[in-house]
Structure 1
Amino acid sequence: MSEVTTFREVFKVFLRLGLTSFGGPAAHLGYFHDEFVRRRQWLSESAYGEVVALCQLLPGPASSQVGLAIGFLRGSYRGALAAWLAFTLPSAVLMTLFALGLGVWPGAAQGGWVAGLKLFVVAVVAQAVWQMGRTLCPDRVRQGLAVLVAVILLVAGSAAMQLVALGISGVAGLALRVPPGDRQAVLSLPVQGRRPMVFLMLFALLLLMSFLPMQAGTQSWLAAEMYRSGALVFGGGHVVLPWLEEGFVASGQVTADTFLAGYGAAQAVPGPLFTFSAFLGGAVGGIPGSIVALVSVFLPGVLLVFAGLPLWQWLRQHDQARSMLAGVNAGVVGLLLAALFDPVWTSAVHSPAGVAFVLAAWWALAVVRVPVWLLAPGSAALGAAFF
């Protein structure tokens, strides 16, 4: 099969997934399993499990990284590009259009429909904390680490303190010998000379550059904020919320209402939650800002996948490294737990009616399992009617 044919094949399959994959990261992994393991048999069950395990350990959007890895395994770097473009573009275009619409009609971000979306976001993040807690904190040690990180951030929350708290949880995971999970030895990728280290060093260099002082609102500032968020987020799309809130709301680039309205809308579109970055970039810098933000937030995850896949055999054999990452993942739950209170809860819930709305939305989401693409616009409509 030629490279052009492979690109088209991968692009076509992932475009359909990008247009129909509602439900967030966990649902995406299910869609990928059905499509690429059961139907097309591009990967074996065990190989897919290893790809998912690796991407869960890396910073960045786990489901998008799994898709990127599948495209890479199918068609090398061209296949990876096809997978990322096709899976990301549909939701990115919708989120950019939403940002431009709010730019034309700024008063729309103050309406009752935004209040409904903000309350819906509280239920979504609460459900994410619950699900991630069950997966990433299965024992008392990791539950304790999650609570410790949440306490630290609630008392002294800042972007720098988030890094410190996650560092503490990683060191604690190593010191307490957090169980790293079972080893697997199915996915075999030879180390490609120096190329993985080149990707890893480029990732680190760009991360260091993202901490340089820049004028807020410029394209370079936007790229730095997004790259830093994408590089330091463990746990997937929901966890990017506190990082981006610190950069965009605390700096005054967007209002809290606009920020949470965009995040609520991101729940209602298919594809990766990281396309929320396209909304923020569009709100700050129009279509060019949307493109810069989108590429910048995904770039670190892409570099880490290209570095991590060939080095997976090494990482699999080192329990110390995996114990540290397990500790960081537990800390991520605490990070999201702190964000659930501030800014999500404090910005959205101001009355007993708001509490009732959140409880009803959570029940519909977690118990009745109403699809998010129905629940988000429904919450906006109810908010417009009652708030």
Structure 2
Amino acid sequence: MNAGAVFLVFLRLGLTSFGGPVAHLGYFREEFVVRRGWLPDSEYAELVALCQFLPGPASSQVGMAIGLRRAGLRGALAAWCGFTLPSALLMMAFAFGILRWGHGLPTGVLHGFKLVAVAVVAQAVWGMMRMFCREAASRLLMLAAAATTLMWPQATAQLWVIAVGALAGQFWYRRILPAAGQGFAAAMSRRWGGVALVSFAALLLLPVMAERSANSTLSVLDAFYRVGSLVFGGGHVVLPLLQAEVVAPGWVSANEFLAGYGAAQAVPGPLFAFSAFLGTTMSAGPGGWTGGWLCLAAIFLPSLLLVVGVLPFWSRIRQYRWMQAALVGVNATVVGLLLAALYDPLWIAAVRDWRDVALVTLAVTALMWAKLPPWCVVLATVAMAFAVGLAFP
């Protein structure tokens, strides 16, 4: 498959994948595992687990890795472009609109996007639970992971939960697993993987260069690359870090920052596209379209380098029986993390009363039993939420 075909598939997802990073993993599973058969469910779960360990946006990294498998480095870039550009362009257009006409979105519309995210994640949790939590031990591990994540919601706690899941897999499954298969094919040599890892580490020296230079563009590049390199958990975890980087020094006002955050909930694609909004409105750096593209590239570059760098070595490491056993435990743990995210923040933030419960139930029914396309369910749920908001303000 060529990179152009990969781009078109991810472009459709970039135009229709609402609901945030957890929901995106559900969309990806439905598209690439269930519908297209690009990779089996077991390899997809491995990929999700690996990207949970890496800093950066996990859903975007999973997309890059799938593109890498299908069409090499060009495929990874095509997957990122297709999935990210729609939301980035919308966020930059919104930034120009805010600077000129003010801001504001109907409350019912934003609420509808939150409700459909609950439905999409519920579908993903159900499908992955049926696949990876068939035994009592896996179900127990899933529930323990969910409970622990809800009690300690920090991103570092999630990393510890995954690590414990790997150890539990070693304890329960190492002696009973069959020989490992071929695993995830990275379509990238170890030599290029090493180059990518060295480049990732070298760019972490940007703070030194920024301190010695009075160039504001270099300071902006450093800030966004550093956030993309060091944030674990992805998604909403990046928001307080970005706020500290751009609001505290006065590059963006607090009101503009919050308005952009609200808009980021209403567009498809990765939440990290919020960086395009910030780059467009910032007083530091070039600003405008140039600033938006610069910040977008800077925050995603670490993810691309890590995916290209780690996957060639991962395809060999996962062949060992101990790694296979660890992955069985990690798979169950990842389902537990998704289950926890379904409750907090998605359910808590979105579902307020019985009307919301009814809308979520309708959306889940449309996705799981009626098998309607996700974009149809998104539009219908948002329209119904907006209508309910008008009828019952």
Distance 1:363 1:241, change over 3 A: farther
**What residue number does 1:281 align with?**
275
State the percentage of identical aligned residues: 23
Residues 356-375 of structure 1 correspond to what in structure 2 (within 5 A)? 356-375=358-377
- Whether 2:67 is the aligned partner of 1:67: answer yes
Report the 3-state secondary structure (helix = DSSP H, G, I; strand = E; otherwise coil) of the residue aligned with 1:108.
coil
**Aligned-partner Cα distance in 2 for 1:144–1:289:** 45
Residues 293-372 of structure 1 correspond to what in structure 2 (within 5 A)? 293=296, 296-297=299-300, 299-300=302-303, 302-309=305-312, 312=315, 314-372=316-374
Report the 3-state secondary structure (helix = DSSP H, G, I; strand = E; otherwise coil) of the residue aligned with 2:382.
helix
Q: Point out where structure 2 has 5 or more consecutive residues left out of the alignment.
A: 18-26, 52-57, 208-218, 248-253, 281-288
Distance 1:351 1:114, change over 3 A: same
Per-residue CA deviation, residues 283-339 of structure 1 (Å, 9 max, x unaligned), is 443353565345534643553344423652x32431112322332232222222222
**Aligned-partner Cα distance in 1 for 2:63–2:374:** 17
**What residue number does 2:2 align with?**
10
State whether residues 68 and 187 of structure 2, in contact with CA within 8 Å, keep that contact through their aligned partners in structure 1: no
Give the aligned residue type for 1:285.
G
State whether residues 199 and 303 of structure 1, in contact with CA within 8 Å, keep that contact through their aligned partners in structure 2: yes
Give the aligned residue type for 1:356.
A
**What residue number does 2:264 align with?**
262
Over the aligned positions, Cα root-mean-square deviation in angstroms equals 4.2
Per-residue CA deviation, residues 97-122 of structure 1 (Å, 9 max, x unaligned), is 47537845765345211111111111
**Aligned-partner Cα distance in 2 for 1:165–1:276:** 24
Q: Point out where structure 1 has 5 or more consecutive residues left out of the alignment.
A: 1-8, 38-44, 211-216, 234-239, 267-272
Give the aligned residue type for 2:180.
R
Residues 150-229 of structure 1 correspond to what in structure 2 (within 5 A)? 150-177=146-173, 183-185=180-182, 195-200=192-197, 220-229=222-231
**Aligned-partner Cα distance in 2 for 1:167–1:366:** 32
- Whether 2:32 is the aligned partner of 1:29: answer yes
**What residue number does 1:58 align with?**
50
138, 147, 154: which one aligns with 2:143 = 147
State whether residues 127 and 366 of structure 1, in contact with CA within 8 Å, keep that contact through their aligned partners in structure 2: yes
State whether residues 281 and 294 of structure 1, in contact with CA within 8 Å, keep that contact through their aligned partners in structure 2: no
Of the structure 1 ranges 324-333 and 150-159, higher mean CA displacement relative to structure 2 is found in 324-333
TM-score (norm 1): 0.70
Distance 1:223 1:15, change over 3 A: same
85, 88, 94: which one aligns with 2:83 = 88
**Aligned-partner Cα distance in 1 for 2:133–2:243:** 30
**Aligned-partner Cα distance in 1 for 2:186–2:76:** 19
Give the aligned residue type for 1:141.
A
Counting matched residue pairs gives 340
State whether residues 123 and 361 of structure 1, in contact with CA within 8 Å, keep that contact through their aligned partners in structure 2: yes
